[in-house]
Amino acid sequence: MSGLRELFRFTVEPEAAGLRLDTLLRRRFRVTSTLLRRVRHHGRVLVDGEPRRVVDPVPAGAEVVVLVEEEASPGVAPEPLPLEVVHEDADLLVVNKPPGQVVHPTRGVCGGTLANAAVHYLASRGEPAPVHPVNRLDRGTSGLVVFAKNAWAHAALAGRLERVYLAVASGRIEADALTIDQPIGRDPDHPVRRRVDPAGQPAVTRVRAVSRWPAATLCEVTLETGRTHQIRVHLAWAGHPLLGDALYGGPTDRLARPALHAWRVRFVHPRNRTLLSLEVPPPPDFQALLAALGAPEGGMG
Protein backbone atom coordinates (compact mmCIF):
# COMPACT_ATOMS: atom_id res chain seq x y z
CA MET A 1 0.00 0.00 0.00
CA SER A 2 1.52 3.30 -1.09
CA GLY A 3 1.21 6.73 0.44
CA LEU A 4 1.03 5.53 4.04
CA ARG A 5 1.86 8.08 6.69
CA GLU A 6 2.58 7.43 10.36
CA LEU A 7 -0.18 8.86 12.53
CA PHE A 8 0.54 7.33 15.94
CA ARG A 9 3.46 5.53 17.58
CA PHE A 10 3.29 4.60 21.26
CA THR A 11 4.02 1.93 23.86
CA VAL A 12 1.13 0.13 25.54
CA GLU A 13 1.06 0.90 29.26
CA PRO A 14 0.49 -1.90 31.80
CA GLU A 15 -3.00 -0.70 32.70
CA ALA A 16 -4.03 -0.97 29.03
CA ALA A 17 -2.89 -4.58 28.59
CA GLY A 18 -5.52 -6.75 26.94
CA LEU A 19 -7.58 -3.88 25.55
CA ARG A 20 -8.63 -4.02 21.93
CA LEU A 21 -6.60 -1.66 19.82
CA ASP A 22 -9.64 0.34 18.69
CA THR A 23 -10.69 0.85 22.33
CA LEU A 24 -7.19 1.98 23.24
CA LEU A 25 -7.06 4.44 20.33
CA ARG A 26 -10.40 5.91 21.33
CA ARG A 27 -9.32 6.36 24.95
CA ARG A 28 -5.79 7.59 24.32
CA PHE A 29 -6.25 9.77 21.22
CA ARG A 30 -10.03 10.31 20.97
CA VAL A 31 -9.99 8.57 17.61
CA THR A 32 -13.39 8.69 15.91
CA SER A 33 -15.25 5.78 14.33
CA THR A 34 -14.73 7.42 10.94
CA LEU A 35 -10.96 7.42 11.37
CA LEU A 36 -10.97 3.84 12.63
CA ARG A 37 -12.77 2.80 9.46
CA ARG A 38 -10.12 4.62 7.47
CA VAL A 39 -7.38 2.78 9.33
CA ARG A 40 -9.11 -0.55 8.60
CA HIS A 41 -9.62 0.08 4.90
CA HIS A 42 -6.83 2.53 3.99
CA GLY A 43 -4.15 1.97 6.60
CA ARG A 44 -2.09 -0.49 8.55
CA VAL A 45 -1.49 -1.28 12.21
CA LEU A 46 1.78 -2.79 13.43
CA VAL A 47 2.23 -4.23 16.91
CA ASP A 48 5.91 -4.89 17.58
CA GLY A 49 6.42 -4.76 13.82
CA GLU A 50 3.73 -7.32 12.98
CA PRO A 51 0.47 -6.44 11.19
CA ARG A 52 -2.60 -6.54 13.42
CA ARG A 53 -6.29 -5.70 13.17
CA VAL A 54 -7.84 -2.84 15.11
CA VAL A 55 -10.04 -5.36 16.95
CA ASP A 56 -7.05 -7.33 18.28
CA PRO A 57 -6.04 -7.05 21.96
CA VAL A 58 -2.61 -5.60 22.69
CA PRO A 59 -0.10 -6.67 25.35
CA ALA A 60 1.65 -4.36 27.81
CA GLY A 61 4.96 -2.99 26.57
CA ALA A 62 4.16 -3.51 22.89
CA GLU A 63 5.06 -0.77 20.42
CA VAL A 64 2.04 0.22 18.34
CA VAL A 65 2.38 2.05 15.02
CA VAL A 66 -0.70 3.26 13.17
CA LEU A 67 -0.30 4.20 9.50
CA VAL A 68 -2.97 5.83 7.33
CA GLU A 69 -3.03 6.46 3.60
CA GLU A 70 -2.22 10.06 2.76
CA GLU A 71 -5.22 12.24 1.96
CA ALA A 72 -5.14 15.02 -0.59
CA SER A 73 -6.69 18.45 -0.15
CA PRO A 74 -9.36 18.35 -2.89
CA GLY A 75 -9.59 21.54 -4.88
CA VAL A 76 -6.55 23.08 -3.17
CA ALA A 77 -3.63 23.40 -5.58
CA PRO A 78 -0.23 24.46 -4.20
CA GLU A 79 0.57 28.11 -4.92
CA PRO A 80 3.80 29.94 -3.99
CA LEU A 81 2.12 32.66 -1.95
CA PRO A 82 3.45 34.48 1.13
CA LEU A 83 2.71 32.64 4.37
CA GLU A 84 3.50 33.80 7.91
CA VAL A 85 3.90 30.68 10.04
CA VAL A 86 3.30 31.23 13.76
CA HIS A 87 3.50 27.61 14.95
CA GLU A 88 4.11 24.24 13.34
CA ASP A 89 4.38 20.65 14.55
CA ALA A 90 3.56 17.18 13.22
CA ASP A 91 -0.19 17.77 13.45
CA LEU A 92 -0.77 21.52 13.15
CA LEU A 93 0.16 24.56 11.10
CA VAL A 94 -0.90 27.90 12.58
CA VAL A 95 -0.56 30.97 10.36
CA ASN A 96 -1.26 34.70 10.47
CA LYS A 97 -3.78 35.58 7.77
CA PRO A 98 -3.52 39.05 6.22
CA PRO A 99 -6.74 41.01 5.59
CA GLY A 100 -8.19 40.53 2.12
CA GLN A 101 -7.29 36.85 1.70
CA VAL A 102 -9.81 34.00 1.67
CA VAL A 103 -9.00 31.06 3.97
CA HIS A 104 -10.02 28.18 1.67
CA PRO A 105 -11.22 27.82 -1.94
CA THR A 106 -14.96 28.29 -2.33
CA ARG A 107 -17.39 28.22 -5.21
CA GLY A 108 -16.41 31.73 -6.26
CA VAL A 109 -12.70 31.64 -5.29
CA CYS A 110 -10.53 28.90 -6.80
CA GLY A 111 -7.04 30.11 -5.90
CA GLY A 112 -4.95 32.64 -4.07
CA THR A 113 -6.25 31.44 -0.71
CA LEU A 114 -4.46 30.80 2.56
CA ALA A 115 -4.98 27.05 2.06
CA ASN A 116 -3.28 27.19 -1.36
CA ALA A 117 -0.29 28.86 0.30
CA ALA A 118 -0.24 26.30 3.13
CA VAL A 119 -0.33 23.31 0.77
CA HIS A 120 2.59 24.77 -1.20
CA TYR A 121 4.54 25.50 1.99
CA LEU A 122 4.21 21.92 3.22
CA ALA A 123 4.96 20.39 -0.19
CA SER A 124 8.10 22.52 -0.54
CA ARG A 125 9.34 21.04 2.75
CA GLY A 126 8.80 17.50 1.55
CA GLU A 127 5.61 17.12 3.59
CA PRO A 128 2.70 16.77 1.16
CA ALA A 129 0.10 16.83 3.94
CA PRO A 130 -3.50 17.91 3.47
CA VAL A 131 -4.69 21.02 5.27
CA HIS A 132 -7.94 21.14 7.22
CA PRO A 133 -8.87 24.59 8.55
CA VAL A 134 -9.99 24.23 12.17
CA ASN A 135 -11.23 27.83 12.24
CA ARG A 136 -12.09 30.22 9.44
CA LEU A 137 -11.97 33.99 9.15
CA ASP A 138 -13.86 36.28 6.82
CA ARG A 139 -11.90 37.66 3.88
CA GLY A 140 -11.54 41.07 5.54
CA THR A 141 -10.55 39.71 8.96
CA SER A 142 -6.89 39.29 9.85
CA GLY A 143 -5.23 37.01 12.35
CA LEU A 144 -4.66 33.44 13.45
CA VAL A 145 -5.90 30.45 11.46
CA VAL A 146 -5.26 26.90 12.66
CA PHE A 147 -4.79 24.21 10.00
CA ALA A 148 -4.71 20.53 10.93
CA LYS A 149 -2.39 18.35 8.89
CA ASN A 150 -4.53 15.25 9.32
CA ALA A 151 -8.18 14.37 9.81
CA TRP A 152 -7.57 13.13 13.35
CA ALA A 153 -6.18 16.45 14.61
CA HIS A 154 -8.97 18.31 12.83
CA ALA A 155 -11.68 16.25 14.52
CA ALA A 156 -9.92 16.44 17.89
CA LEU A 157 -9.78 20.27 17.82
CA ALA A 158 -13.17 21.01 16.25
CA GLY A 159 -15.08 23.27 18.60
CA ARG A 160 -12.27 23.29 21.15
CA LEU A 161 -10.42 26.49 20.22
CA GLU A 162 -10.62 29.50 22.50
CA ARG A 163 -10.67 32.42 20.05
CA VAL A 164 -10.12 36.01 21.12
CA TYR A 165 -10.46 38.94 18.71
CA LEU A 166 -9.70 42.64 18.76
CA ALA A 167 -12.48 44.72 17.26
CA VAL A 168 -13.03 48.45 16.85
CA ALA A 169 -16.75 49.12 17.19
CA SER A 170 -18.40 52.36 16.20
CA GLY A 171 -19.74 54.49 19.01
CA ARG A 172 -18.92 54.51 22.68
CA ILE A 173 -19.80 51.24 24.43
CA GLU A 174 -20.59 52.27 28.00
CA ALA A 175 -20.54 48.83 29.60
CA ASP A 176 -17.15 47.42 30.56
CA ALA A 177 -18.38 43.96 29.60
CA LEU A 178 -21.44 42.52 27.93
CA THR A 179 -22.66 39.19 26.63
CA ILE A 180 -24.68 39.07 23.43
CA ASP A 181 -26.75 35.89 23.31
CA GLN A 182 -28.79 36.13 20.12
CA PRO A 183 -29.42 33.49 17.43
CA ILE A 184 -28.10 34.20 13.96
CA GLY A 185 -29.61 33.23 10.61
CA ARG A 186 -29.40 34.17 6.95
CA ASP A 187 -30.83 37.44 5.73
CA PRO A 188 -33.40 36.44 3.06
CA ASP A 189 -32.91 39.78 1.31
CA HIS A 190 -29.15 39.39 0.77
CA PRO A 191 -27.01 36.49 -0.55
CA VAL A 192 -24.21 36.96 2.03
CA ARG A 193 -25.50 38.97 4.95
CA ARG A 194 -26.63 37.39 8.24
CA ARG A 195 -28.94 38.81 10.89
CA VAL A 196 -30.20 38.19 14.40
CA ASP A 197 -33.11 35.82 13.88
CA PRO A 198 -35.15 33.98 16.55
CA ALA A 199 -35.28 30.99 14.19
CA GLY A 200 -31.51 31.03 13.62
CA GLN A 201 -28.67 29.08 15.22
CA PRO A 202 -27.66 29.85 18.83
CA ALA A 203 -24.78 32.33 19.05
CA VAL A 204 -23.00 33.80 22.07
CA THR A 205 -20.42 36.61 21.95
CA ARG A 206 -18.63 38.08 24.97
CA VAL A 207 -17.37 41.65 24.64
CA ARG A 208 -14.98 43.54 26.92
CA ALA A 209 -14.25 47.24 26.38
CA VAL A 210 -10.48 47.86 26.29
CA SER A 211 -10.25 51.50 25.14
CA ARG A 212 -12.86 54.18 24.43
CA TRP A 213 -12.99 57.24 22.21
CA PRO A 214 -16.01 59.51 21.66
CA ALA A 215 -16.95 57.70 18.45
CA ALA A 216 -15.32 54.25 18.80
CA THR A 217 -14.51 51.47 21.27
CA LEU A 218 -11.68 48.97 21.08
CA CYS A 219 -13.03 45.63 22.31
CA GLU A 220 -11.66 42.24 23.19
CA VAL A 221 -14.18 39.72 21.89
CA THR A 222 -14.44 36.05 22.78
CA LEU A 223 -16.59 33.61 20.84
CA GLU A 224 -18.48 30.77 22.47
CA THR A 225 -19.95 29.71 19.12
CA GLY A 226 -18.70 30.06 15.57
CA ARG A 227 -21.47 31.38 13.35
CA THR A 228 -20.74 33.13 10.06
CA HIS A 229 -20.13 36.88 10.63
CA GLN A 230 -20.99 36.38 14.31
CA ILE A 231 -19.04 39.30 15.80
CA ARG A 232 -20.07 41.63 13.00
CA VAL A 233 -23.75 40.69 13.29
CA HIS A 234 -23.89 40.87 17.08
CA LEU A 235 -22.15 44.22 17.41
CA ALA A 236 -24.29 45.70 14.63
CA TRP A 237 -27.41 44.38 16.39
CA ALA A 238 -26.18 46.06 19.60
CA GLY A 239 -25.93 49.36 17.74
CA HIS A 240 -22.15 49.32 17.36
CA PRO A 241 -21.18 47.97 13.90
CA LEU A 242 -17.47 47.58 13.29
CA LEU A 243 -15.55 50.42 11.73
CA GLY A 244 -15.03 49.62 8.06
CA ASP A 245 -17.87 47.09 7.93
CA ALA A 246 -20.07 48.45 5.14
CA LEU A 247 -22.10 45.22 4.97
CA TYR A 248 -23.48 45.80 8.47
CA GLY A 249 -23.67 49.59 8.49
CA GLY A 250 -20.24 50.48 9.86
CA PRO A 251 -18.55 53.74 8.79
CA THR A 252 -15.87 53.27 6.12
CA ASP A 253 -14.09 56.63 6.22
CA ARG A 254 -11.20 55.35 8.37
CA LEU A 255 -10.78 51.72 7.22
CA ALA A 256 -11.73 49.85 4.05
CA ARG A 257 -12.42 46.52 5.75
CA PRO A 258 -14.03 45.41 9.03
CA ALA A 259 -11.83 46.36 11.98
CA LEU A 260 -11.51 42.81 13.25
CA HIS A 261 -8.37 40.84 14.11
CA ALA A 262 -8.11 37.29 15.51
CA TRP A 263 -5.23 37.93 17.86
CA ARG A 264 -5.20 34.93 20.19
CA VAL A 265 -6.02 31.21 20.08
CA ARG A 266 -5.70 28.83 23.01
CA PHE A 267 -6.27 25.09 22.98
CA VAL A 268 -5.09 21.82 24.44
CA HIS A 269 -2.88 20.09 21.88
CA PRO A 270 -4.60 16.83 20.90
CA ARG A 271 -1.42 14.74 20.92
CA ASN A 272 0.57 15.82 23.99
CA ARG A 273 -2.35 17.39 25.94
CA THR A 274 -0.38 20.55 26.73
CA LEU A 275 -1.98 24.00 26.62
CA LEU A 276 -0.90 26.04 23.60
CA SER A 277 -1.52 29.81 23.56
CA LEU A 278 -0.58 31.85 20.48
CA GLU A 279 -0.90 35.57 19.77
CA VAL A 280 -0.17 37.88 16.84
CA PRO A 281 -0.36 41.70 16.82
CA PRO A 282 -2.81 43.46 14.49
CA PRO A 283 -1.61 44.30 10.96
CA PRO A 284 -0.45 47.80 9.97
CA ASP A 285 -3.84 49.08 8.81
CA PHE A 286 -5.45 48.15 12.14
CA GLN A 287 -2.63 49.76 14.11
CA ALA A 288 -2.82 52.88 11.93
CA LEU A 289 -6.53 53.10 12.71
CA LEU A 290 -5.84 53.02 16.45
CA ALA A 291 -3.13 55.66 16.08
CA ALA A 292 -5.48 57.89 14.07
CA LEU A 293 -8.11 57.67 16.81
CA GLY A 294 -5.63 59.26 19.20
CA ALA A 295 -5.30 58.89 22.94
CA PRO A 296 -8.21 56.94 24.45
CA GLU A 297 -10.42 58.38 27.14
CA GLY A 298 -9.49 57.87 30.76
CA GLY A 299 -6.04 56.49 30.07
CA MET A 300 -7.39 53.11 28.92
CA GLY A 301 -5.54 51.01 26.39
- Active-site residues: which are they? 138
**Distance (Å, whole) CA 229 – CA 136:** 11
Residues 215 and 171: beta-carbon distance below 8 Å = yes
| Cα–Cα nearest to 36, from 158, 156, 152 | 152
**Distance (Å, whole) CA 37 – CA 42:** 8
Report helix angle 33-42 to 21-29, nearest 10: 130
Residues 206 and 191: beta-carbon distance below 8 Å = no
Who contacts 268 (Cβ-Cβ below 8 Å, separation ≥6)? 160, 274, 275, 276
- Give residue 285's Cα distance to chain centre: 22
